[in-house]
Structure 1
């Protein structure tokens, strides 16, 4: 059977439209699903209770104004019960009129009263109804705005840093990253506890609440597109499962994991972690150094705490430093990273500094941005 060319083109356009519609519907469903667990940074908004009080005050002002208008023109109204309109009748008429109840027992009879109802009271009735439904409209608007923010965030997120676990280790890791110049919008926090996700949002971070050992949770954090992953849960077995899942989703990301016990470090490396930090042994060594020499312990604490008197900095070699010996640099050079290999400052293979080297130096601490 022969199909005419214009029919083929028409069918092709229909197929394209169906494909675009299906893609848009899929993205919308994903945004709605992600919105249940993604907490965006908190924006400055009016508290809900204050919003309700403001709307209530506006409604009362509209009601009082309408009552006053009716009472001042009470001679133009008729009450079917006694024929006259007093202040209580005016308030009653304003209430049933603004709420669109309209029992009809009090009616405007003069031309002036009817004209005022058309030009003044009817707009006040519309304003009154808008105030009453304002809370519902605000909720719907906020929900739509939140879905738009989530969709925009997901579409722009690339080469970000995922921090899994926002306990003590995770918070200090984020604080150090921000101190080193990483923008907050490039950091995504994942934590199983909703309270921790809310704290991260209060700190200006995007947070995903959910079990990080499950792929769907890490997919909501766009982990396949991340460049670096920090694994800092409370348990070592959880860290192992998270590292396995993260490495499966992203074979190229740099994964740094924290464990409590030294015996679990090899397991983390086999699971795909590039660097493993043992918290208990590191703390134990620092305790030993503090006992033997408190001054050395304080210096180490300064080096590990960004913004203290001294900072450990990883930076590229400056053009004016190329060709110099490490000791000739203005800052104290501890090591040099060359061709993905770490060389100590006294390594005989080091020689002169080359273009492309990265220096591990001790520098004076720079003022850190405030947390406001």
Structure 2
């Protein structure tokens, strides 16, 4: 990135959401649809041909208003020739409009088409010049429409794995926003079709730029526990209704994350340690757990609503293998007496089999 761009990024600091959209280009990045060069060139050639034919038809239908330098009547080939030399601004002058109507058509129809034709010819250059404007427009549209998305703070190993799990669970890439300060991580996220925001997530303005205030879920996957606490505090302040899931390294910091507003805390070191301990005696159990945690392969743990026919029944008698019942936001184990009768507002935590 150029030095001027770096200075501009540093000046944004805490006033990101107050900046105009063009000033956010390079900070907020919206994934673009990938189009092959051959398709782009073919489309431009087709537009050029259409413009050429339109002008040729306009001149042909008004051919009596034009004069050939030799005095001959104009055929369609002559009109096509006139269109080519006019749109390319070559203008040999061997065919000229002589009637007032033909001159008016040249002014109000052919001249605008000539300008459009020239723009088309230098489209590649103009694309570079107008990239900032197009990005600014995309940013403006995205910020006005983004709702109920997921914000992922940190795109390291944990963040990338969390995104992969969501994509495997059929979440649309455009509904995931990655916030990080690492450019290489953001480039990988953008290549995966994710929206990216470059900035420090401990600052509320950066989270607002990511639309955290409208997010349905926020995943905190930072590399440091103290950073995770600060990010969670900031996220909870601006997104009181969002579900916040945080990952930390040490279990002793779990209560800090919960007090900061996290709905769920994953202790990565303890989880990895338990799997290592289990693997020494029963490695097949670890393999099964990994299978359950991978939504796009084999079995998977999923959550669903209660069907009308299941209300009042026992979760043990359902066709699905139910592991627990979520009632009023609280997880009840399958052996708890409260879940002997399923309620309509419950959600079932079950093992999803392939194809379901």
- In the other structure, the counterpart of 1:262 is 251
Aligned mates of 1:302, 1:341 — CA distance in 2: 25
Aligned mates of 1:179, 1:187 — CA distance in 2: 13
Question: Deviations along 1:89-123, whole A, 9 cap, x unmatched?
Answer: xxxxxxxxx9x9xxxxxxxxxxxx975799xxxx9
Structure with the bigger RCO (C-alpha within 8 Å, sep 6+) is 2
**Equivalent of 1:331, from 295, 298, 320?**
320
The question of 1:213 aligning with 2:202 is answered: yes
The verdict on how the C-alpha distance between 1:162 and 1:117 changes in structure 2, with shifts beyond 3 A counting, is same
Number of residue pairs aligned between Structure 1 and Structure 2: 282
- In the other structure, the counterpart of 2:306 is 317
Question: What aligned pairs does 1:4-23 form with structure 2 within 5 A after superposition?
Answer: none
The question of 1:302 aligning with 2:260 is answered: no
Q: Is the 8 A contact 1:42 1:201 kept in 2?
A: no
Shift of residue 280, structure 1, vs aligned partner: 0.9
**Equivalent of 2:32, from 32, 42, 45?**
42
Shift of residue 182, structure 1, vs aligned partner: 2.5
Q: Is the 8 A contact 2:217 2:244 kept in 1?
A: yes
After TM superposition, the score normalised by the length of structure 2 is 0.70
User: Tell me, what secondary structure is at the counterpart of 1:315?
Assistant: strand
- In the other structure, the counterpart of 2:339 is 350
Q: Is the 8 A contact 2:311 2:343 kept in 1?
A: yes
- In the other structure, the counterpart of 1:360 is 349
Question: Deviations along 1:310-334, whole A, 9 cap, x unmatched?
Answer: 1111111122222221111111111
- In the other structure, the counterpart of 1:79 is none
User: Tell me, what secondary structure is at the counterpart of 1:182?
Assistant: coil
- In the other structure, the counterpart of 1:17 is none
Q: Which has the larger radius of gyration?
A: 1
The verdict on how the C-alpha distance between 1:337 and 1:325 changes in structure 2, with shifts beyond 3 A counting, is same
The verdict on how the C-alpha distance between 1:336 and 1:115 changes in structure 2, with shifts beyond 3 A counting, is closer
Q: Is the 8 A contact 1:188 1:205 kept in 2?
A: yes
Shift of residue 169, structure 1, vs aligned partner: 1.2
- In the other structure, the counterpart of 1:33 is 23
- After superposing on structure 2, the runs of 4+ consecutive aligned residues of structure 1 that deviate more than 3 Å are 26-29, 113-118, 126-136
Question: Deviations along 1:232-279, whole A, 9 cap, x unmatched?
Answer: 011112111111111122222111000011111111112221111011
User: Tell me, what secondary structure is at the counterpart of 1:219?
Assistant: helix
User: Tell me, what secondary structure is at the counterpart of 1:255?
Assistant: strand
- In the other structure, the counterpart of 1:232 is 221
The verdict on how the C-alpha distance between 1:136 and 1:311 changes in structure 2, with shifts beyond 3 A counting, is same
- In the other structure, the counterpart of 1:22 is none
**How much is the aligned-residue C-alpha RMSD, in angstroms?**
3.3
